[in-house]
Amino acid sequence: MNAPLLELSGLTKHYPVRKGLFSRISGSVRAVDGVDLSLQSGQTLGIVGESGCGKSTLGRLALRLIEPTQGRVLFAGTDLGHLGPADLRAQRRQMQIIFQDPYSSLNPRMTVGQILSEPLRLHRLHLGRQTQRVAELLHTVGLAAEHAGRYPHEFSGGQRQRIGIARALAVEPKLIVCDEAVSALDVSVQAQVVNLLQDLQQQLGLAYIFIAHDLAVVKHIASHIAVMYLGRVVEYATKDALFAAPRHPYTQALLSAIPVPEPGSQRQRILLAGDVPSPANPPPGCRFHTRCEHARPTCSQQSPTLTQQDGHAVACHFWRDIKAPIRGPNAAINTRLQRLQSAFVT
């Protein structure tokens, strides 16, 4: 196997909590707490979990948009933590991001042509033919060249997200972080955007980190999936292995929460007790044990390590003793996926 395009090793981000008159540090919010992941060229890594589990922070750490507290990010063998501003800017040509909100991520005072030509000017690319390059980018994402003279408010949400994708493609990257890139869109528009992302991946050999809540969308686009809880990866596997036989109780609960659209359909729902603990004061031992119906005394005393078996990694002391109720959730996922696929515009 070739060397990974991206390697995250012990990646950690703690935000200090300050209190009092002198703003003394009284603790820290553990947004990301020791994550190890890798991604091959041309593959898609899906990252799922509840809000506040650290998904978006992890995506920004991977691009060094924020500085890690600890850990390393290797991109194509280069340690991003050792790069100065000039070298980091050059490296950023290879790494781009698509944001969640297509309305606030585009400058309303700039035309689409100006938005797409800005990264070309910054990196001094396609000098003398930037207008043609903008037209090519618009065509690539399914828009017309004449759209370059319009402003973002003249487009729908799906069209704005296509402009965001075109902006990410402008500098010809190898990796794109899709940070909830379709969650703000209608289902039919989601399908079109996901279809576009897959086509671009096949044409350009792109690698994606795809952050999302919708497990049906993640199953459709991702080759591997990492499940996060309170800043840590609790399960990692190929999409087929994860959906066929989830091993961690948290993953099983996420899958069981997908609604079944057919009247009379039955599934076993796993209801999690309580709320997500504060990342400023996570529980000792396994962070999920306060909400897990299978928790034992060991879970509150020892933190499980992410161990692999047959390429399927799970951080749970007793996963072998837990049988997943997968029939109902899998049927729901497949039905949802079929509806998404039927909406795809080719």
Range of the domain at 123: 6-14+30-228
Q: What H or E segment, with its residue span, contains residue 19?
A: strand 6-19
Task: State the pLDDT at residue 170.
Answer: 96
Task: State the pLDDT at residue 346.
Answer: 42
| Residues 292 and 203 both lie in one domain | no
Final residue of a structural domain among 228, 259, 274 = 228
Separation CA 205–CA 101 (nearest Å)? 25
Answer yes or no: is 150 within a domain.
yes
Spatial neighbors of 115 by CB under 8 A, at least 6 apart, are 106, 107, 152, 163, 167
Answer yes or no: is 19 within a domain.
no
Contact 73, 7 (CB under 8 A): yes
Answer yes or no: is 177 within a domain.
yes
Final residue of a structural domain among 201, 228, 255 = 228
| Residues 86 and 175 both lie in one domain | yes
| Residues 70 and 211 both lie in one domain | yes
Q: What single DSSP character describes residue 222?
A: -
Task: State the pLDDT at residue 304.
Answer: 95
Answer yes or no: is 234 within a domain.
no
| Residues 204 and 69 both lie in one domain | yes
Answer yes or no: is 208 within a domain.
yes
CATH of the domain at 135: 3.40.50.300
Contact 102, 161 (CB under 8 A): yes
Q: What single DSSP character describes residue 293?
A: T
Task: State the pLDDT at residue 340.
Answer: 53
- Number of structural domains the chain divides into: 2
Q: In the chain, how long is the greatest CA-to-CA distance?
A: 68
Spatial neighbors of 69 by CB under 8 A, at least 6 apart, are 12, 13, 14
Task: State the pLDDT at residue 335.
Answer: 52
Final residue of a structural domain among 228, 257, 291 = 228
Task: State the pLDDT at residue 142.
Answer: 95
Q: Is the dihedral of CA 343, 344, 345, 346 positive or negative?
A: negative
Answer yes or no: is 240 within a domain.
no
Q: Collect the ranges in the chain with pLDDT lower than 50.
A: 326-329, 331-332, 344-346
| Residues 310 and 212 both lie in one domain | no
Structure token pair of residue 109: 């005072």
| Residues 142 and 75 both lie in one domain | yes
| Residues 152 and 275 both lie in one domain | no
| Residues 156 and 101 both lie in one domain | yes
Separation CA 294–CA 275 (nearest Å)? 17
| Residues 216 and 290 both lie in one domain | no
| Residues 86 and 188 both lie in one domain | yes
The b/e string for 260-294 (b: 16+ C-beta within 10 A; e otherwise) is beeeeeebeebebeeebeebeebbebbbbbbbbee
Answer yes or no: is 179 within a domain.
yes
Answer yes or no: is 260 within a domain.
yes
Angle CA 331–337–338, to nearest 5: 90
pTM value is: 0.89
Task: State the pLDDT at residue 214.
Answer: 81
Separation CA 339–CA 211 (nearest Å)? 21
| Residues 186 and 334 both lie in one domain | no
| Residues 86 and 118 both lie in one domain | yes
